[in-house]
Structures are given as C-alpha cells and as structure tokens.
Amino acid sequence: MAKGSGGTRGASGGGNRASTPQLSVVKETEKAVQVEAEAYVEYVPSGMGGFTSSMIKDKTFNMKVWLPKSQIKDGKPSDWIKGKKEQDLVDDSWLNSKMYNGQVHSVSLKFKYK
C-alpha cells in the first residue's frame, strides 16, 4: 500500500468506481445533469463548395454539457443523446466563431469520468 493514499472519499466510499464509471457532474437538477466533456472539433473553410483533407483544421475544447437523466444508463450517456449534442455543437455559433474564416465540419464529444 502506498503511504498517504488511504482514507475515505465521502459517503460513497468509492466501492463501485471500478465497475461503474461516474460522469464528472458539475451541476444537477431533478431531471438533468451538467457534465464535463471534451469536444474535438474539425473546421473547414467557409463558403467553399469543396475542400481537401489538408484544409481541415482541428481544435479541442473543454466544455460543460447538460444531459437529461433519462438518457444516462449505467453511468453512460446514450448514443442518441451523444449524437444529438454533437449535432447541436456543429451549429453552435460560439464554436463557429472560434476559427477565422472557417466553419465547424464535425464534433466528437468525449465525456469525462471520475
């Protein structure tokens, strides 16, 4: 055992942490949770009919995302809600403003776990 690594972690005790992942929850309401996520965003030039792969730029952003509790099963967001949130971010004006003369082409969300 490592020195100083023992002790308890609050009421949960961390007993199920290995078997059930715990989303990194920032806020919670009766019906939803706000969780931490990493968004990998690919940008393409604006106003071009076509583009080549060498024109794609990418950035990663840390953000907070609201998820309905009904879409979380076994500590993991459903594929449907993940896809819906990614699609919403493709159209997000804040993300689209982050790349000069570019627009969001795709977003891939990776939820953070404790």
pTM above 0.85, yes or no: no
- Residue 108: pLDDT above 90? yes
DSSP calls for 29-73: -SSEEEEEEEEEEEEEETT-S---GGG-EEEEEEEEEEEEGGGEE
- Residue 86: pLDDT above 50? yes
How confident is the model at residue 7, as a pLDDT? 38
How confident is the model at residue 20, as a pLDDT? 74
Residue 48 pLDDT level (bands cut at 50, 70, 90): low
Exposure string of 12-35, with b = 16+ CB inside 10 Å and e = fewer, is eeeeeeeeeeebeeeeeeeeebbb
Measured CA to CA, the distance from residue 31 to residue 70 in angstroms comes to 8
